Structure 1
Amino acid sequence: MEREKQNSIFLSLSPLLYLVLSILLFRFVWVIPYPHPVALLVAGLLSFLQRGNRKIVFLKSAFRKNFLSVLPAMEILFFVGMLIASWAHSGVLLTMIQTGILFLQPDYFLPSLAIVSAIAAMVSGSSWTTAGTLGVALMGVAEVISFPQTMAAGAIVSGCYFGDKLSPLSDTTNLASSLTHVPIWTHIRHMLKTTCISFGVAIFAFYVLNVYTLDSNQITNLSLQSESLLSGPNHQIFWLKFIPVVLVFGSALFKLHIRLSLLLGIISAIGFSISELGFQFSIGKSLVYGFVSHSGNDVLDRFLSGGGVVAILPTEILILSAVWFGAVVEGYGYLNEILMHIKNWAKDRWDILLSTMGTSFLLNLVTADQYLSLVIPARAFRSLAEEKGIPEKDISRSLEDSGTITSPLIPWNSCGAFMSTSLGVSVLSFFPFVFFNLFHVILSVSLLLIAKNKFKSSYLNKSSS
């Protein structure tokens, strides 16, 4: 019986082993242009063949459910592609970059990126809206002043997820709150202490990294380069071009769906293009194929040229590949077996909270959707939490500490794919610099382990006495 149990655990985890091996194979041995989609397809196929005797109807049902869960994210990605192209074509993006250069100082650049992104995400309630609009402009500032793109992306993602996590307008914050029946403000207050500590440590780390990245001569050179971009009659800031930005963030404040918010940003930007250039075929071409900049500044042209629907297609393929992999894992019983093993392992309140976090991370890996990483663990562990007398707010915080926070750290997760596509930096490249997300996961897990060890020590002391 013990051998069967061990074999069952190994077989249940085998899809993840196939995925890791496939990624290593296609990234470092047989190097191919898009290793992650291929790795997901191969890992899913091997897992499918391993349980080929199962009915195909389970696979179809799981695929349909997972596809419908990520379909809104895939739709939003197309809107973001068109938004970036329309803002670049109309000069809105250039205006935002110039304003950023005017106010963001190179010697405090990384902390500033994180704080500005955090405020915007808290106001809008959406890390996606912030990254797809303000985040793109901030990356443009980093490009113009020759600041490392990977570090800038890490700071922006950190700020986006800190602000999103503590915003009462955030969909994930509201979802975690509703799943556990915890009032939204109680949920947010319960997250404040650890979340603020993690963000404070992250800001300090960004400052230290900023200091060691740039010396005084580089800062002087960057300042001169910034001034040259802002000088001249062709580079005056046209403040009316902030109207699309105000529309996007203003509509988010009124809880308008993100698709409608982005659509307002696209239409208003197209309006600027038509008013300045007249109706031209190039506007529609930019929306589909991306904008090509000819400003005369090579660095700026390299950044402004992009966007469009076509640029989003590789990301959409990546998400669909993850949906296939997740459908096999869920439809053929691997996921349910893993959950059962985790439930059998969880004996006390700290095990249950750690299991909630671990399951959220696992679901981010296999389903490509952060909403499922919140919904399934909440349902799976809520009854166990009630039996052990665990406060519901502890479960809701654990869901966010893992499900929300780790979603942008996985390349094929819809959040990771979105951040990578919007900011123009791969997830694996900005991963080491997403200090808030990394610190927060480490802090949350460490606090649970410390509490568990203290309880064990106290229990043993009482027993010996």
Structure 2
Amino acid sequence: MFFSLSPLIYLILSILFFRFLWEVNYPHPAALLVAGILSFLQRRNRKIVFLKSSFRKNFVSVLPAMEILFFVGMLIASWAYSGVLSTMIQIGILFLQPDYFLPSLAIVSAMAAMVSGSSWTTAGTLGVALMGVAEVISFPQTMAAGAIVSGCYFGDKLSPLSDTTNLASSLTHVPIWKHIRHMLKTTCISFGIAILGFYFLNLYVWDLGQTSNVSLENGFLSSVTSSSVSWFKLIPVVLVFGSSVLKMHIRVSLLLGIVSAILFNSNGFEFSFEIWETLVFGFESNSGNEVFDRFLSGGGIVAILPTEILILAAVWFGAVVEGYGYLNEILIQIKVWAKDKWDILLSTMGTSFLLNMVTADQYLSLVIPARAFRSLAEEKGIPEKDISRSLEDSGTITSPLIPWNSCGAFMSTSLGVSVVSFLPFVFFNLIHVVLAVLLLLVAKNKSKSS
């Protein structure tokens, strides 16, 4: 078992090595180094066919995510260029109260994700604007990102429009609303605790730094709050979320947001070379305010390339772990260990988390455990809704907590904060995983005692 887990151990140690020795805060070189070493050591094993097959399968699974990332890069650049982002930031400054800033970020993000059914759409649009509000009022970016990610995944988990929610319910043959109702029992408790945690953290930040009082005296903020809001610039926002509600594909939603932002830019209806350059290389803001310019400058296809390289590195690492048999051995050992209902549910959660780390894809973290433990669950008489909830309690929830996972990479790229930095503040995801595991352990002990 230790030998089978060794690739993950080497990966984590390599990430820590690069981070503390050379202050490299991204896991690209660690994933490439470990995958390269394992490939070299296993070169005589004659399993190159399995390696190629695993790489092809994992690459195909993350290809849609990589494609969507390019759209998000162009969306951020187009919204910054046309003034959509600055308008959203202006509205956020007007309506988000500093005393309840973190809880408000989580609640607003949750509502948007529940309506759109997509944590990615919410983070890539509304989340970017909310991070701008945090930047302008000098609020810690890491905490703001943690609150936004928490809200995004709470809303996504309980939305009937969510792809992961629908996938988990279909894999286990549980009706979508029955699946959502069963998740409410634990999800709402976790989110309620998270909101309380954000409220007390908010109080601590204000008491510690007095940043709200200092920021509100800023002349730039005064000009923002006194100027009128250009409501027509919210048309791209309405189109993005409206198309999501109508169950259009996320690519269509993001494309509508990009095209409408270009059409409704400050210079009127035009397609110039400057716009195309902005979509590719990003937007450069020159408002005169250093904080505002630092946030608005960016986006574009070029800004997404490091994230795409990270996903490819993770795909190669996952192919090595799966193609050379490490993953299969782990699954065999887990099946041998799982003796009763609670062991199977814990194994489902553990396998989902493991696959999030290995394959870098949240969909595979739902599909493979559902298939692996379906027969065992039927033998033990486990209700299908318990399996579907366990899949989401780990597969969906832990995906943004892993830097090289496509979800973690997306959240980091969209919000401009590394996963390692915002990880301690993703209260909902962390609390929910701990709560789900504790409830299973308590139920297991009760069944033994009875």
What TM-score does the superposition give when structure 2 sets the normalisation length?
A: 0.97
Over residues 123-178 of structure 1, what are the superposed CA-to-partner deviations in whole Å (9 max), with x where a residue is unaligned? 00000000000000000000000000000000000000000000000000000000
Letter in structure 1 aligned against 2:441: L
Q: Is the CA contact 1:374–1:403 (under 8 Å) kept in the aligned structure 2? A: yes
Please report how far the alpha carbon of residue 254 of structure 1 lies from its aligned counterpart in structure 2 after TM superposition.
0.6
Over residues 285-308 of structure 1, what are the superposed CA-to-partner deviations in whole Å (9 max), with x where a residue is unaligned? 110010000111111111000100
1-structure distance, mates of 2:38, 2:112: 42
Query: Residue in 1 aligned with 2:14?
Result: 22
Please report how far the alpha carbon of residue 220 of structure 1 lies from its aligned counterpart in structure 2 after TM superposition.
2.8
Computing the radius of gyration from Cα coordinates, the structure with the larger value is 1
2:212 to 215, 219, 234: 219
1:45 to 14, 36, 47: 36
5 Å-filtered alignment, 1:276-315, equals: 276=268, 278-315=270-307
1:250 to 227, 242, 246: 242
Q: Is the CA contact 1:106–1:222 (under 8 Å) kept in the aligned structure 2? A: no
1:36 to 27, 34, 37: 27
5 Å-filtered alignment, 1:447-458, equals: 447-458=439-450
SS in 1 for 2:27: helix
Over residues 69-98 of structure 1, what are the superposed CA-to-partner deviations in whole Å (9 max), with x where a residue is unaligned? 000000000000000000000000000000
1:387 and 2:369 matched: no
Over residues 200-245 of structure 1, what are the superposed CA-to-partner deviations in whole Å (9 max), with x where a residue is unaligned? 000000000000100395333333347414256xx43100000000
2-structure distance, mates of 1:156, 1:421: 13
Please report how far the alpha carbon of residue 57 of structure 1 lies from its aligned counterpart in structure 2 after TM superposition.
1.1
SS in 2 for 1:283: helix
1:237 and 2:221 matched: no
Over residues 378-418 of structure 1, what are the superposed CA-to-partner deviations in whole Å (9 max), with x where a residue is unaligned? 00001100000000000000000000000000000000000
Over residues 23-54 of structure 1, what are the superposed CA-to-partner deviations in whole Å (9 max), with x where a residue is unaligned? 1221112444x641111111112222332213
1:363 and 2:361 matched: no
SS in 2 for 1:273: coil
SS in 2 for 1:357: helix
Larger deviation: 219-228 or 68-77? Answer: 219-228
Over residues 298-353 of structure 1, what are the superposed CA-to-partner deviations in whole Å (9 max), with x where a residue is unaligned? 11111000100000000000000000000011111111110000000000100000
2-structure distance, mates of 1:221, 1:366: 45
1-structure distance, mates of 2:410, 2:138: 24
Letter in structure 2 aligned against 1:38: P
1:57 and 2:32 matched: no
Larger deviation: 22-31 or 356-365? Answer: 22-31
2-structure distance, mates of 1:372, 1:229: 49
Q: Is the CA contact 2:110–2:152 (under 8 Å) kept in the aligned structure 1? A: yes
SS in 2 for 1:276: coil
Please report how far the alpha carbon of residue 120 of structure 1 lies from its aligned counterpart in structure 2 after TM superposition.
0.1
SS in 2 for 1:210: helix
5 Å-filtered alignment, 1:64-463, equals: 64-215=56-207, 217-225=210-218, 227-231=221-225, 235-273=227-265, 275-276=267-268, 278-458=270-450
2-structure distance, mates of 1:211, 1:272: 39
Letter in structure 2 aligned against 1:306: G
Please report how far the alpha carbon of residue 279 of structure 1 lies from its aligned counterpart in structure 2 after TM superposition.
3.9
Q: 1:19 to 1:295 in 2, by over 3 A?
A: same
Structure 1 alignment gaps of length 5 or more: 1-8, 459-465
Please report how far the alpha carbon of residue 275 of structure 1 lies from its aligned counterpart in structure 2 after TM superposition.
4.6
SS in 2 for 1:172: helix
Letter in structure 2 aligned against 1:73: A
SS in 1 for 2:265: helix
Q: 1:163 to 1:51 in 2, by over 3 A?
A: same
Q: What is the count of residue pairs matched by the alignment?
A: 447
Larger deviation: 296-305 or 134-143? Answer: 296-305
SS in 2 for 1:425: coil
Structure 2 alignment gaps of length 5 or more: none
Letter in structure 2 aligned against 1:24: L
2-structure distance, mates of 1:380, 1:210: 43
2-structure distance, mates of 1:280, 1:391: 58
Q: 1:229 to 1:362 in 2, by over 3 A?
A: farther
2-structure distance, mates of 1:119, 1:110: 15
1-structure distance, mates of 2:98, 2:196: 16
Query: Residue in 2 aligned with 1:462?
Result: none
What TM-score does the superposition give when structure 1 sets the normalisation length?
A: 0.94
Over residues 256-303 of structure 1, what are the superposed CA-to-partner deviations in whole Å (9 max), with x where a residue is unaligned? 000010000000001022753844321111100100001111111110
Q: CA RMSD in A?
A: 1.4
Q: Is the CA contact 2:94–2:225 (under 8 Å) kept in the aligned structure 1? A: no
Aligned-pair identity in percent equals: 78
Letter in structure 2 aligned against 1:43: V
